[in-house]
Structure 1
Amino acid sequence: MFSLAELNTIDFVLPGGSVTFRTSAEEKNRVIVQLGTPEPGTALQAAKMLENDVMGIDVNMGCPKAYSIKGGMGAALLTKPEIVKDILTTLTTNLRIPVTCKMRILPELEKTIALAKLIESTGVAAITVHGRTINERSMHRNRNEVIQAIAHSVGIPVLANGGSRDIIRNHEDIEYFRQLTSATGVVIARAAMWNPAIFKSLQVDEPLPKLEEIICRYLTLVNNVSFFGGSRDIIRNHEDIEYFRQLTSATGVVIARAAMWNPAIFKSLQVDEPLPKLEEIICRYLTLSVRYDHHIAGAKYCVLRMLHDFGGTPIYEDVLASNELRDLCAIWNMLDVYDHEMSNRLERLKNHQLTLNNSTVNCNQEIISSPSLSVSSDSLSVPEKRPRVEEHLSNTTTVLVNDNNVPGVKINNFEEIVLSIPYERRFWPDHGTSPKQILREHCKLLKWDSPKYETIEDRNKRSFFSTVLVNGKRYRNTSACKSKRYAEQAAVLVCLHVLGIPDGKVHADENNKVNLNNK
């Protein structure tokens, strides 16, 4: 964890350099971080790193996804009460900030209430209850009566979740859902994503905000919202939030999709107060995205969710085709804002550097990694399980050579060539051609066997390295990747580079900029 002066943010960075969580002082009292954990030790370690920079810690005991279940996290904890007790007790005993948890219901009401009471006994500040079982999804009915039974059985706040599809459509529905469930509050996800204006309480004759206004405002605040629940069935506007909370007898409501569809859903409108325009919301969000260097994938996702009713339109396709934040800003004629924010970031960075004992750093320098070719004298065996990278590379010797002198070193009857070429996913568009596709077509054209891949993992740094076998030669990339899939693409880059085949990379300056006036 470190403070990034350029963005005025607090970043939590993985050993490989990837930012896994970014926050700022402005949102400290608004953000609750949800942890997925199978045991108390790592949960406490992670929470301790976060407790000075967030409002609270929430333990996820409701995620039904396979990766959570297989890891003993999320909904897997619903049937492990002793582990639940150990995790929550450890956190509540050792943290200075509130601890909460989010759970799904069990098939049996008695077991559900027993689990809720056990959770209450650990000292948590509140419980969010999603009214569906581990095997149920949003198309199934939310068990509001079960949430109500839990709310009547425990003495701590219960937040109702899951009412978006059936109940929450507008702001008034939120209170209705809360009363229906006897909850203290409502947790909303989809209803707020569909209609971010759902949190806004309209006065008499007050019009709803336009979708354009909602998107801009929601995208400005999106990093401060971490709730999800009754969006599909109930939550459509601000009033639906309270309805959903009452419906589940919860303490509050967690919203995701309803807020993404309508970011103004959280705003309680006054008499004659107009809702913000969608364009205004998008512009405010993009301004903050540039200011805090939000990842393009996250920014595109949020904007596209706001435009869910405009799928297939030119503006939707333009957002989908964007590769950088600058591209998104161009769609809404915000290039002047983009340049201004980038200039401010550079100025903050320069001012910060003045305090570093007169150490000089060229803020405008661009670091370019040139491929360096090397040859390994060791072989890569194919293990039954993916080995740790240190086990594989500890005895490896490399000899640097130039690009025009690729020696034929035999390794287990194969020649191995090693390069360091960073693979950045953003330079290969979603609808473009990937390096693996290019290599596959090349092999097919020359009637070579299909490429074969081997991958090793550095578990300490959470990095992956792959080797690809093509036509009797092995090509290995020493540039670390964050996933096996990306590591395979990186290995192919080495092969394509040596074979002199274009890799399909698209540079930022080659992208067509979008003009909103042409829409």
Structure 2
Amino acid sequence: MMAARLSFSNITALAPMVRVGTLPMRLLALDYGADVVYCEELIDIKMAQCQRVVNEVLETVDFVAPDDRVMFRTCERERDRVVFQMGTADPERALTVAQLVEKDVAAIDVNMGCPKEYSTKGGMGAALLSDPDKIEAILKKLVTGVGIPVTCKIRILPSVEDTVSLVRRIEKTGVAAIAVHGRFKEERPRHPVHCDYIQAVSQAVSIPVIANGGSLDLVKKNGDIEEFRKATGASSVMLARAAMWNASVFNSQGPVPVERVMEEYLKYAIRYDNNAFNTKYCLCQMLRDKVESPLGKQVQAAQTNAEISNAYGLQEFYQQIQEQQQVRRDALQNGSQPDKPVMDGDVITMAVKFERREYPPQITPKMFLLEWSRKEKLEQPFYETVQRAQDRAFQSTVMVAEKKYRSSLWEKSKKFAEQAAAIVCLRVLGIPEGRIGEEDSGLVCKRKRERKVNGSAEEEISKKRHVADVQQEAETSETAVVTNGNHHKPDTPPERQKSS
């Protein structure tokens, strides 16, 4: 493991950029020659609420918020070269997030340089520069708490002496490298970068220094990267806007036309189901002064990745990817996953589908679970159902005896999702579920198990009993909740409906 630790010496990196440093752009930068890629700054409070989910359809690892937004998505291709950057002002919370993601990233970085309000709120970003004690506390907590390298990214302070004093203190925390944006926190990209400050830092510490801030003035093509490195005396260089405008700036063989770069970016966005609004934003940054061209207007008007694909003539590619993903989805739904219990947080899960044909018309797993609960003098089963937006599929969790059970597979209807949850509970507990051919357990009276009865009068009685059973089930179920499944914040917060 130590041999595989990420090195920050003599590298060229994609800098962390909000709304830009998502998976498609990171993979594109690696393709063109970047050695290391940083994700966009992700706030610790939001990340601490996320659940790690292996997405077998996309072949990614997703960190999913309670509202179903994917806050961070990564894949094996970048596993040993992606740096997770967080916004934090709290050592304990920073460690919680770092430990959540450390198995899926190569290093952890703390943002101490962003001067914008969304980052400085709560004392994060550049606000940390005025609190060196907190900087030290955060970095020490991370260095001792995780098994991967820890770095930070700062802006320069009002004087060279103050800047050098801070970075020497940072070095003592045990960080693997420090990135320095050569501007004061009140300066913006239009201001010239202060290479002399970065040079002073490079001479003052023994750890690698990564120079940042040269995109507008100094780095316009790949050959300029080495000149920026020499001008700052830094070990490495980090590029933001130059890479955002055309990721082939990392290509030692020379620039690639931006039209081709945009197409390659869009293919990654389609392949990894990138949020359409994020895709639009990145493409518009690449279009730059052509954003009002016919293509630019078509991109701006698009609402989905499918519509963006049409603008770039990639309809066939988009459809091919959708079909491939549906094949994977179907294979997973058809039970290729192991049919054994797995803990997902505090919920016991199994890959189970409710197949109606496997049960007599009058019998359902929910009925068996309800009768068993009554027999054991337990509170009746309590169901909570959610619906994801992208395909309108349902998933239900049932609580029985203070334990939760859920199928990891999504169902086409709320009723089927509840039945699948009941099956998981019954199978984990070793209780009969009423399938055809199953030995009579006595949980549900024999009349309900008969598929046909002789005589119209008895048939009518059976129908009435069946209606009563259905009504009884209906009383335990209410309207499903719709949660946000397309990776961006919904206009209104979802309501969660529960049934018992």
Q: TM exceeds 0.5?
A: yes
Distance 2:69 2:104 in 1: 19
Matches within 5 A, 1:320-469: 320-353=300-333, 354=335, 355-357=337-339, 359-360=352-353, 366-367=391-392
Q: 1:351 to 1:116 in 2, by over 3 A?
A: same
Letter in 2 for 1:328: I
Indicate whether 1:44 and 2:95 are aligned. Answer: yes
Letter in 2 for 1:345: Q
Structure 1 segments (4+ residues) deviating >3 Å = 361-366, 419-426
CA contact (8 A) 1:30 1:55 kept: yes
Indicate whether 1:214 and 2:261 are aligned. Answer: yes
* Correspondent of 1:285 among 265, 280, 286: 265
Indicate whether 1:317 and 2:297 are aligned. Answer: yes
Tell me the residue number matched to 1:297.
277
Tell me the residue number matched to 1:13.
64
Tell me the residue number matched to 1:387.
none
- For the residue of structure 2 that corresponds to 1:129, the secondary structure is strand
Letter in 2 for 1:333: G
Letter in 2 for 1:112: T
Residue 361 of structure 1: how far off its partner (Å): 7.2
- For the residue of structure 2 that corresponds to 1:71, the secondary structure is helix
Q: 1:338 to 1:180 in 2, by over 3 A?
A: same
* Correspondent of 1:487 among 484, 492, 498: 492
Tell me the residue number matched to 1:70.
121
CA contact (8 A) 1:287 1:341 kept: no
Tell me the residue number matched to 1:131.
182
Matches within 5 A, 1:148-297: 148-202=199-253, 208-215=255-262, 282=263, 284-297=264-277
CA contact (8 A) 1:10 1:23 kept: yes
Q: TM-score, normalization: structure 2?
A: 0.59
Distance 1:54 1:167 in 2: 30
Indicate whether 1:60 and 2:53 are aligned. Answer: no
Distance 2:393 2:172 in 1: 55
Residue 335 of structure 1: how far off its partner (Å): 1.8
Indicate whether 1:142 and 2:193 are aligned. Answer: yes
- For the residue of structure 2 that corresponds to 1:487, the secondary structure is coil
Residue 14 of structure 1: how far off its partner (Å): 1.0
- For the residue of structure 1 that corresponds to 2:135, the secondary structure is helix
Residue 290 of structure 1: how far off its partner (Å): 2.0
RMSD between aligned residues: 2.8
CA contact (8 A) 1:51 1:95 kept: yes
Structure 2 residues without counterparts, runs of 5 or longer: 1-51, 340-350, 356-387, 395-478, 496-500
- For the residue of structure 1 that corresponds to 2:261, the secondary structure is helix
Larger Rg: 2
Letter in 2 for 1:72: G
Report the identity percentage.
40
CA contact (8 A) 2:389 2:485 kept: no
Letter in 2 for 1:340: Q
Q: 1:367 to 1:74 in 2, by over 3 A?
A: same
Q: 1:91 to 1:319 in 2, by over 3 A?
A: same
Letter in 2 for 1:46: V
CA contact (8 A) 2:202 2:209 kept: yes
* Correspondent of 2:143 among 92, 114, 128: 92
Letter in 2 for 1:487: T
CA offset digits 1:293-325 (Å, max 9, x no partner): 111011111211121131211111001111111
CA contact (8 A) 1:160 1:181 kept: yes
* Correspondent of 2:152 among 90, 101, 119: 101
Letter in 1 for 2:265: Y
Tell me the residue number matched to 1:429.
none
CA contact (8 A) 1:113 1:153 kept: yes
CA contact (8 A) 1:58 1:101 kept: yes
Distance 1:137 1:175 in 2: 23
Tell me the residue number matched to 1:507.
none
Letter in 1 for 2:306: R
Letter in 2 for 1:99: V
Residue 73 of structure 1: how far off its partner (Å): 0.5
Residue 360 of structure 1: how far off its partner (Å): 2.6
Residue 124 of structure 1: how far off its partner (Å): 0.6
Distance 1:180 1:31 in 2: 26
Residue 20 of structure 1: how far off its partner (Å): 0.7
CA contact (8 A) 2:181 2:212 kept: yes
Q: 1:113 to 1:208 in 2, by over 3 A?
A: closer
Distance 1:90 1:38 in 2: 12
Distance 2:354 2:318 in 1: 23
Tell me the residue number matched to 2:464.
none
Residue 422 of structure 1: how far off its partner (Å): 6.3
Distance 1:83 1:324 in 2: 42
CA offset digits 1:154-180 (Å, max 9, x no partner): 000000011112111111111001000
Residue 106 of structure 1: how far off its partner (Å): 0.6
**Number of aligned pairs?**
314
- For the residue of structure 2 that corresponds to 1:187, the secondary structure is strand
- For the residue of structure 2 that corresponds to 1:111, the secondary structure is helix
Tell me the residue number matched to 2:78.
27
Q: 1:135 to 1:420 in 2, by over 3 A?
A: farther
Letter in 2 for 1:359: V
CA offset digits 1:340-366 (Å, max 9, x no partner): 111111111222232253723799994
Structure 1 residues without counterparts, runs of 5 or longer: 216-281, 370-418, 427-480, 492-519
Residue 211 of structure 1: how far off its partner (Å): 2.2
CA offset digits 1:250-294 (Å, max 9, x no partner): xxxxxxxxxxxxxxxxxxxxxxxxxxxxxxxx1x33232222111
CA contact (8 A) 1:88 1:124 kept: yes
Distance 1:349 1:24 in 2: 18
- For the residue of structure 2 that corresponds to 1:102, the secondary structure is strand
Letter in 2 for 1:286: L
Letter in 2 for 1:63: C
CA contact (8 A) 2:243 2:249 kept: yes
Letter in 1 for 2:320: H
CA contact (8 A) 2:68 2:484 kept: no
CA offset digits 1:19-70 (Å, max 9, x no partner): 1111111211121110100011000000001000011110000011123223
Distance 2:485 2:76 in 1: 31
